[in-house]
Structure 1
Amino acid sequence: MLWGMFAASAPIIIHLLNRRRHKTVKWAAMQFLLKATRESRGKKRLRHILILTCRALGIAALVAAAALPVISSFLGLGAGKPDVVVLILDRSASMESNPESGGVPRRALAIQRIGDAIADLGGTRLVLIDSASGKPQDILSPEVLPELSATATTDTAADFPDLLAGATEFLAETPGRNELWIASDLQGSNWAPGDDRWSNVRAALTNLPQPPRIRILSLSGKSAGNQSIRVVSSRRAGERLELELEITRSGDALTPLNLPVTTTLNGTRSTETVRIPGQQLRFFRSMPVPDTERSGSGWVSIPGDGNPRDNVGYFAYGPALPVRSAVVASTGESADYLLLASAPGGFGGQTAERIDPAALASFLTEGIATVFWTAPLPEGPVAEELDRFINDGGHVVFLAPEGDSAAEFLGVAWSPISRPPAEQFFILDSWNRNDGLLRDGIDGTPIPADRLRAVKRRVPTGESTILARWDDTEPFLVRRVVGRGTAWFVGSQPDYSWSNLADADVLLPVAQRAVLAGAGRFDSGYVVELGSPEAQPGPNEVRERLDEYTDEASAEPEFVAGVYRFGDRIRAVNRPAVEDLEGQIEAKAFETLLEGTTYSLFEDTSTSGQENISRDVWRAFLVAMLFFLLSEALLCLPKPVTTVEKPTAGAQPSSLR
């Protein structure tokens, strides 16, 4: 249609042809009229030029409007064409969610949008850094983006501080005018706005020889209804497999939901309907496992919804292992109650042994799940052994000791013994009901910790997380997480000369939670997350997928969840738990994260891949055409007729009006 621009020359050609039709004939009688109008000839010529210009521009604007031009909002105006575009593509599991009104997944939508924008640039070098591999690779044409394995779906999480750091390193070695494009759903857990690495990212970007312009394509918006299921833990206890599962609903969960959950164990499938009363439900599922089966695997799944990548969780298990606990205490009431609570009758496979504090020189933690410690805090080689034990995933519960000691462990020490005023008690006033050993049960039943009374206590001091306080605000229960394990510090003893902590309704759930958490390190090796070292084959191992949940083949199995065999090991590899977290980073957060850089945020909330990230401008050309034609019409209006008044007798001639 733009060939029609030649029509804009038509008024000029007509004007030139009309000039050739006239011949100038000098007539003496007209000379005085020419002299009278000579002064206004310049204004007339300017008026004629303006009329001619308006006619030509009006035709040109009409042709431009007929060509239906668009301008990319993502590229912007007047920015110029970059030499290199580095694209960071979010391939995390959350990018497979569908917008609220349907359409295509956000990852596919991002590829469509970016491909169209790159095509508009024409000839610009495109370098892709996907969130799964983090490796830069050249893309020869934007048309091949949907076909690449590096843009396919994954079950991974994205680490944007690390991705931007990698992109900055690439830009530092790439000369020319560069731009950095980011396509993401802005999931908060992936962007980690509170991460300390952002300061280094900002410094690296601003110190580049040519700091890039950053364009962020946000595919946030509201998502279609979605539920996710996750395997929290898988533990074999004798002839039963205990699965701890968690279902999370997206959006506002005001009404209960009945959801069928299908469990497939070694090829045997069963379905049970679960009622979800609110936003989240955590529950157990117990299944029989023959003692003759040393290992096995399976998965739990829910029906398809707004995101197919979070509808399944995988599990695996190995031989049943006994759960051993150690109680480091002298003989007495505390030791007896701790032995009973850590290995109560009827809890198959649980055993506990008492170790006298005097025998700690030969203390070994191999094969032990949890240690209950009522002696003074460890020092020397024993402290080093406990430190290794905790780092490897073990749990140690330190209870207030009887004897005084100035020792500290992991930065925590005990205060001297204190007692309440006469005929009064220390009363537990507040505790975290969602986290820690005193948290509520899975069904919401609280531990009656408010019944706890103490006549003697020690206060844990030092850097730690406080989970429970006495009525005078002093800490009762604190936690120190080290490596894969945890050290707990409890400011009393299950001895009635100290407190009523020995009551079964408090001590039993507290002890069992510590025991099961410590035992998890023996079973956790079977259930791992994508991105962890345990989810990768060793030097002499070959990856082989075992489950049959889907028959889709993946060119990058290292980024897809499933049950895999690595040599002699079987591992259930799941998407990272952070991918099930809701919440998106706010637009104003980029003012801090990317402070000092030139960035722009484009929010694409459309639901179809058929539209471009562009805006129509042909309407502006129609408006311009109307403006030019109206201006031409106004300029062509005849001037008012000028008359000369006949002078009266004795009067001077009046001026023209």
Structure 2
Amino acid sequence: MFLNAIMLAGIGAVAVPILIHLLNKRKFQRVQWAAMRFLRVSIEQNQRRIRVEDILLLVLRCLILAVLALALARPVIRAAGASGWFGQAKVTAVIALDNSYSMSQTDGVKSRLDRAKDAAEQVVNTLPSGSAVAVLLASDVAAGLIPEPTYDLNLARQMLRGAPLSHRGTDLLPAVKKSIETLAGRPSLRKEVFVITDGQLAGWRQLGEIRRLLEEHKGDIRCYLILAGEEEERNLGISDLRFAGGLAGVDQPLRFEVQVTNYGRTEARDVKVSISLDGDLPVEEGVISSIAPGESRSIWFFPRLRSEGFHAVTARLAGDRLPADDSRTVAVRAVRELRVLLVDGDVGREPRESETFFLRHALQPVPPAERENFFVKVRTITAAEVEAARFDDYEVVGLCNVTDLSDTTVAALEQYLRRGGGLMFFPGDAANVSFYNEQLHQKRGILPAAMGRAVGDAASQERFAVLSAKAVDHPIVSIWSDPAAGSLASARFYKAFELVLGSRAAATRPAGDGEAGGVSVVARFADGVPAIVARDWGQGRVVQFASTADTAWNDLGARAGIFVPLVNRTVGWLIARQDATLNIRVGEKFVRRVEAELAGRDAIIQRPGDAGEKVRDSRRIEMIDGHPHVQYEQTDLGGAYEISYGIDAKPALKFAAQPDASESSLQSLSAEQLRQLGEVATVARWTGPGPLEEAIEKQRVGTELWPMLAWLALGLAATETLLAQWFSRSK
């Protein structure tokens, strides 16, 4: 076969010397001349010799052109013994090195990544002289260390030795696809892909597609799957860390839930867990008595943040052989003061009859003497005073059984939400249902749902509805997924509006759809009807309740064990819109809106583990949709990232990246899956330090003939030159 078959057309050039020979062939004209008889004898003697010399030179020139055309077409022999006669053919290879966080697992001596690097170097050592190799880092994306094949094999070795570990998950399909795309169409006899990984099952979720790709290119690309490292029997990992409290006030006990999972095959006992703040020593420690194989257990901590601003909270386990999952970090913003404005639509005759009585106490669940210094500051106004209020002075506004709002107030409310405010809406007997449905729901999309008919009888306590204890997926109510937190179903609702979702008329949608986000159901009644709904609007958020804030229609406010955390978590969720990006997945791009005066400046980013080092990343703060934003995309490591706005400035912002917990699983490819891969690739398990050369080189067969043909063409050209000079000498 020929690698550049199109060059075979060059054989047609053989006709050129033949044409030249024919065109230059002597033509004789008979002339009667007496002296010719003396020359005839000499010509007849040399004629045969000259003809032979011309034909010989013509043949050599034709052969030179034919051999050159064949050399340029790059003929190959695929016979197994050809390499021994003609030498090994050059290889164009791609090495895909798994650097996901499961590769941090060690055997006590070396990590899987270190062993994979050793295997990759041995692969480079097997490449014949003149070969080219590209190097990719494979995780859930394919990143090019050397994106295009290079002939500098020493550079490839150097890049492999310095390949960094990431905390990304594993999906090997992008790496396999990019490897094949890199080699496809390249004129090389041997094209090889080396996927060097740990064989973790999580990385082969798209095994069927990988097999299809390899099968499709099996004829011209050979794939090697090298499994580096040994399987491990035990592993504990922190699978989740979350701020489970509603509000993060300075010097207040904050509830953090740490979930520990046993990924091993044996029971784990007396598991020590600690929590620390901003990289300091642990402030609290706890012990989980036992965790069965494959199970998860949670433990709660209540640290206090001593200062206002951004903090990194880290949970840790005792180290094991997979260090990447022994810690997990979240970022939290502590506030020194949170201002809430409550608009009371029915103040009542005494304080307890006020619409906002239970809300005020839930927001300030401390003795009266301590309310002055409590971080949540609550101001209550009547519906008549709402038009004069400045919403922007408050983080959260609550409308409680307010009849309606003036056009001026509605416009101010829109601007407030657009700039990031939070709104709680509670209905009641005084609320003008038509106004809220038409103006705040249909026209502007501020309220997530329309209010339908009011169901129930507040005067009768014989019949009531309860909240479902099962639907607790929303962050506001997720705390009740733990039975120890109590049950939402204990509260009784005697009367409530039916919240109708998706009821906005098509003609009125454009007015609010540009800023109204999707609707989420926070909680449902036991019959499935929504009881609390929420949505993002502009830069702010809205939570809408189906029943009242006081006890006129329900007894929720009287159940402090449910109402206090529900209100605080609602307020916490409302103000968390801007802080929602503080915690991202590893590999996700961080984007956050910052103060206007920072536009055009440089943000200095310190990555996890870089404390004390002088080398830091920087990013220019750019305008997005008319507002300055800081962006950072190099989030390949789990942990806390610190952002400052000057070389020596203190961190002004912290965010955290969390890795994919599925990477902690010890489950590997099964024997059947390895057999399936063996049908389209050469599978080898390598634990070191044995050589890989023999396993790879015995798979390589065939060689290219163009070097031999090039030398032959050169020899023919030299011969033709010498003969031409010899034949043209004086006789």
TM range (shorter): 0.5 to 0.7
Would you say 1:500 and 2:555 are equivalent positions?
yes
How much does 1:297 deviate?
A: 6.9
The one-letter code of the counterpart of 2:303 is S
Q: What stretches of structure 1 of length at least 5 have no aligned partner?
A: 1-70, 72-79, 592-596, 619-657
The one-letter code of the counterpart of 1:280 is R
Write out per-residue CA displacement over residues 233-258 of structure 1, whole angstroms, 9 at most, x where no aligned residue.
Answer: 59863346847362423325745433
2:529 match: 474
The one-letter code of the counterpart of 2:114 is A
Distance 1:468 1:316, change over 3 A: closer
1:238 match: 250
Between 1:104-113 and 1:413-422, the stretch displaced more is 413-422
Could you tell me how far apart the structure 2 residues matched to 1:326 and 1:468 are? 24
Write out per-residue CA displacement over residues 120-142 of structure 1, whole angstroms, 9 at most, x where no aligned residue.
Answer: 45354222232589345256338
The one-letter code of the counterpart of 1:517 is W
How much does 1:115 deviate?
A: 3.8
- 8 Å Cα contact 1:464/1:479 also seen in 2: yes
1:576 match: 658
Distance 1:424 1:559, change over 3 A: closer
The one-letter code of the counterpart of 1:128 is V
2:493 match: 454
How much does 1:305 deviate?
A: 0.9
Could you tell me how far apart the structure 1 residues matched to 2:425 and 2:222 are? 54
Alignment of 1:101-250 (within 5 A): 104-122=110-128, 123-130=130-137, 131=139, 134-137=143-146, 140-141=152-153, 145=157, 148=160, 151-157=163-169, 181-184=194-197, 222=232, 224-228=234-238, 232-233=242-243, 237-239=249-251, 242=254, 244=256, 246-250=258-262
Distance 1:336 1:602, change over 3 A: farther
2:98 pairs with one of 77, 90, 96: 90
How much does 1:326 deviate?
A: 4.0
State the secondary structure of the residue aligned to 2:485.
coil
Alignment of 1:500-649 (within 5 A): 500-503=555-558, 504-520=560-576, 531=587, 534=590, 540-543=602-605, 559-560=636-637, 561=639, 564=642, 566=644, 567=646, 568=649, 569-572=651-654, 574-579=656-661, 582=664, 600=680, 610=690, 612=692
Could you tell me how far apart the structure 2 residues matched to 1:483 and 1:102 are? 52
Q: What stretches of structure 2 of length at least 5 have no aligned partner?
A: 1-79, 81-87, 348-353, 503-517, 593-597, 619-633, 699-731
State the secondary structure of the residue aligned to 2:319.
coil
Could you tell me how far apart the structure 2 residues matched to 1:545 and 1:364 are? 40
How much does 1:96 deviate?
A: 0.8
Would you say 1:403 and 2:432 are equivalent positions?
yes
2:376 pairs with one of 347, 350, 354: 350
How much does 1:89 deviate?
A: 3.3
Distance 1:598 1:355, change over 3 A: farther
Distance 1:321 1:255, change over 3 A: same
Could you tell me how far apart the structure 2 residues matched to 1:337 and 1:251 are? 45
Distance 1:165 1:579, change over 3 A: farther
2:629 match: none
- Taking structure 2 as the reference length, what is the TM-score of the superposition? 0.55
Between 1:128-137 and 1:533-542, the stretch displaced more is 533-542
Distance 1:505 1:239, change over 3 A: closer
1:322 match: 337
- 8 Å Cα contact 1:189/1:579 also seen in 2: no
1:7 match: none
Number of residue equivalences: 524
State the secondary structure of the residue aligned to 2:263.
coil
Could you tell me how far apart the structure 2 residues matched to 1:599 and 1:377 are? 71
- 8 Å Cα contact 1:229/1:301 also seen in 2: no
Could you tell me how far apart the structure 2 residues matched to 1:576 and 1:533 are? 12
How much does 1:452 deviate?
A: 2.4
State the secondary structure of the residue aligned to 1:263.
strand
Write out per-residue CA displacement over residues 300-342 of structure 1, whole angstroms, 9 at most, x where no aligned residue.
Answer: 5443212223334557788853123344552444433223323
Could you say what the CA RMSD is over the residues aligned between the two structures, in angstroms? 5.8
How much does 1:511 deviate?
A: 0.9
The one-letter code of the counterpart of 2:115 is L
- 8 Å Cα contact 1:452/1:499 also seen in 2: yes
- 8 Å Cα contact 1:182/1:217 also seen in 2: yes
Could you tell me how far apart the structure 1 residues matched to 2:235 and 2:124 are? 32
2:511 match: none
How much does 1:544 deviate?
A: 5.2
Could you tell me how far apart the structure 1 residues matched to 2:425 and 2:225 are? 49
1:490 match: 545
Could you tell me how far apart the structure 2 residues matched to 1:303 and 1:214 are? 39
State the secondary structure of the residue aligned to 2:562.
helix
The one-letter code of the counterpart of 2:556 is L
The one-letter code of the counterpart of 2:658 is P
Alignment of 1:289-438 (within 5 A): 289=306, 301-313=316-328, 320-327=335-342, 330-332=345-347, 333-345=354-366, 348-354=374-380, 366=392, 368-374=394-400, 381=411, 385=415, 388=418, 396-400=423-427, 402-404=431-433, 405-406=437-438, 407-408=441-442, 409=445, 412-420=448-456, 423-433=462-472, 435-438=474-477
State the secondary structure of the residue aligned to 2:553.
coil
The one-letter code of the counterpart of 1:451 is S
- 8 Å Cα contact 2:195/2:224 also seen in 1: yes
How much does 1:259 deviate?
A: 0.8
State the secondary structure of the residue aligned to 1:459.
strand
- 8 Å Cα contact 1:218/1:602 also seen in 2: no
State the secondary structure of the residue aligned to 1:227.
strand
The one-letter code of the counterpart of 2:563 is L
- 8 Å Cα contact 2:167/2:324 also seen in 1: yes
State the secondary structure of the residue aligned to 1:427.
coil
- 8 Å Cα contact 2:104/2:323 also seen in 1: yes
Could you tell me how far apart the structure 2 residues matched to 1:106 and 1:465 are? 43
Distance 1:187 1:461, change over 3 A: farther
2:63 match: none
Could you tell me how far apart the structure 1 residues matched to 2:422 and 2:688 are? 51
Distance 1:514 1:469, change over 3 A: closer
Write out per-residue CA displacement over residues 162-221 of structure 1, whole angstroms, 9 at most, x where no aligned residue.
Answer: 767876876689776866554455778888879xxx99x99999999x997776656695
1:275 match: 288
- 8 Å Cα contact 2:535/2:541 also seen in 1: yes
Could you tell me how far apart the structure 2 residues matched to 1:373 and 1:97 are? 54
Distance 1:294 1:517, change over 3 A: closer
Could you tell me how far apart the structure 1 residues matched to 2:380 and 2:234 are? 55
- 8 Å Cα contact 2:135/2:156 also seen in 1: no
Could you tell me how far apart the structure 1 residues matched to 2:556 and 2:565 are? 11
The one-letter code of the counterpart of 1:508 is V
Write out per-residue CA displacement over residues 37-72 of structure 1, whole angstroms, 9 at most, x where no aligned residue.
Answer: xxxxxxxxxxxxxxxxxxxxxxxxxxxxxxxxxx9x
- 8 Å Cα contact 2:583/2:655 also seen in 1: yes
Could you tell me how far apart the structure 1 residues matched to 2:238 and 2:344 are? 45
How much does 1:467 deviate?
A: 5.2
- 8 Å Cα contact 1:528/1:571 also seen in 2: no
